[in-house]
Amino acid sequence: MSRTASQREGEIVRDFLSIADLLEQPQLARVYSYLYREGEATVSELIDELDLAQGTAYTYVNQLADAGVLTPTADSQPQRYAAVEIELTLTANDDREYTISPALIAAVARRPTDDTIDSYIDRHGVHGLATALSHTIAREQGETTHHLVADDLGISELEAELILQALRPVVHGHFSLDDSGASLADVVDAENLDV
């Protein structure tokens, strides 16, 4: 194996491990997601908008910049940072694919404030959340239902509907979709109809 190929593989592994930190630490994911959504910001703006302590904000920004997922946008002070587009697809041994994207990172960032996402990750892991996110996109495009999602994921229909609803704002924040998905109220009303 050539030295160049070995260096390239090392960079790929380093990049993956950096992205893995975003998936394991919701606060890092929150900073990345904010910068991805807003375009760019200073550390002071992050402190104000995300209610972070100054030292914590600088630590997160430095960690994300060292990982290569944030980049300075200008040489002027105060320094402004922007998120780097992330799109990493992993293939499991059984040929299932999981895509790590800004949308998945945004979903992980919601973990501390969304009990449904937090519980789902506890039970099914981040890879399970990635699969649920894919199903949510399909649901919002009118291509599937919570019944089919529940069957595919091997979970109850209620759990499927709850995670689809929890991920809905993430999907609409990251993708241009027609609003064709049903709300939880629509599902409850439909199930209560006398036919």
Domain boundaries, the chain: 3-83, 88-191
pLDDT computed for residue 189 by the predictor: 41
pLDDT computed for residue 183 by the predictor: 45
pLDDT computed for residue 14 by the predictor: 61
Provide the CATH number for the domain formed by 3-83 in this structure: 1.10.10.10
Scanning the chain, the segments in alpha helix (DSSP H) are 3-24, 26-38, 43-50, 54-66, 102-109, 115-140, 146-153, 157-174, 184-191
pLDDT computed for residue 17 by the predictor: 66
Q: What is the pLDDT along the chain (195 residues), one digit of tens a residue?
A: 334 445 555 565 666 666 787 888 999 999 999 999 999 999 999 999 999 999 999 999 999 998 888 999 988 888 999 998 887 777 767 777 777 889 999 999 999 999 999 999 999 999 899 999 999 999 999 999 999 999 999 999 999 999 999 999 999 999 887 544 444 444 444 344 443
Nearest to 90 by CA among 16, 7, 14: 16
pLDDT computed for residue 191 by the predictor: 42
pLDDT computed for residue 90 by the predictor: 75
pTM, rounded to two decimals? 0.78
- Are the C-beta atoms of residues 63 and 21 closer than 8 Å to each other? yes
Strands of the 41-42 sheet, one edge to the other: 41-42, 80-83, 70-72
pLDDT computed for residue 10 by the predictor: 53
Greatest alpha-carbon pair distance for the chain in Å reads 70
